[in-house]
Amino acid sequence: MKKITIFIIIIVIGVIGFLVLNKVQNKNEENKYRYNDLTKVGYNDDEINYIYSKLDESNINILLRYSYQKELKNLLEHKDFKMNNLNNYLEMKDKITIDLDDIIYIVNDNSYKEDITYNEFVISMIKEEYYLKDRLDRYIDYHTKNTKKTVKEVIQNVNANLDYEFYTNTSSTDTSKGTLMIVNKYYKLDESYVPDDLVDVESKYGANKQMSKVAYEAFIELFNDAQKQGYNLYIASPYRSYQYQTTLYNNYVKSDGKKNADTYSARPGYSEHQTGLAADVMARGNSSLNEFENTKEFKWMKKNAYKYGFILRYPENKEYITGYIYEPWHYRYVGKEAAKTIYEKNLTYEEYYAYYVDKK
């Protein structure tokens, strides 16, 4: 019995030894095959040994799809190198003569597309602070049609959808974003949309109308602080229903024509007033919104409104972005954090939304 056991052990050891030896021989044959392939591409012995130390079989197969890579070591040891992007790095290097740093940056940012020519302008766009990778084709198309625009202008204008005509390529706004929802000439509200937190405006603060509770409470804080400093404000026009805006807009069209009306009045569904977060503000006692810019109350609002979460929605010299004439009386509640950024960076809400809300 003992002899049989020893015999079986010897056989098992022999089989294992044979399998190991066979595997080693196969591996040597495979390495020899890979070595020959790498040699044919142009790699020398030192480079091949380095490749074996850095890449597994699957990645060596990827490497063999491309021509000789003189900068291979620099690529593999780059601080931002990612092994799962190896194929795209090599494909880009094989087709385009640009700096290795730029190749790695573009690929890691998922901004590499086979059909794009990565010239200096395109690379600069990809590295611009507010670049959005899902709009790369639009940036390039816009630049092709507007060659005198700077990188910053291209990014800014496309992010604000200015590569489209107003009221084209429209979509429903994402109301789940709450106080950060956007409503403009590209993003609309449904006819049935009514804010679920509307409250009545007290006569002390403005006209007998309604406003979103969160915006109204912020305005009360603003109003009280302003009053303590000798400024008297008044909410002239806060929430407007879809139906009310329809009547208002149609009346403007009848009196001034559609083209002119579109510069100062929103079409139904495209008015910020329907959100309940916007309000036309004036100095108490004024008979017209047009008088507001020349009041001390306006100067105070322009300097302080952001501290309470409000922004001057349609600023001067930004008409080409917002689509509306300068309206010193129109304020929109976006919350203190967003308002502070918009104020300090001198942004329109279109720009802020693209850079900080949509990008997320």
Residues serving a catalytic function are 327
Q: Is 89 left (phi over 0), alpha (psi -120 to 50) or beta?
A: alpha
Which of 301, 308, 300 shows the shortest CA–CA distance to 336? 308
- Distance, CA of 276 to chain centre: 25
Calpha distance 205→228 (Å, rounded): 14
CA angle 356/319/322 to nearest 5° reads: 35
Q: Residue 263 is which amino acid? A: T
Question: Position of tokens 């005198």?
Answer: 148
Asked if 200 and 213 count as a contact pair (C-beta separation under 8 A), the reply is no
What count of other Cβ atoms lies within 10 Å of the Cβ of residue 202? 11
Calpha distance 41→24 (Å, rounded): 25
The first and second tokens of residue 184, run together, are 């403009």
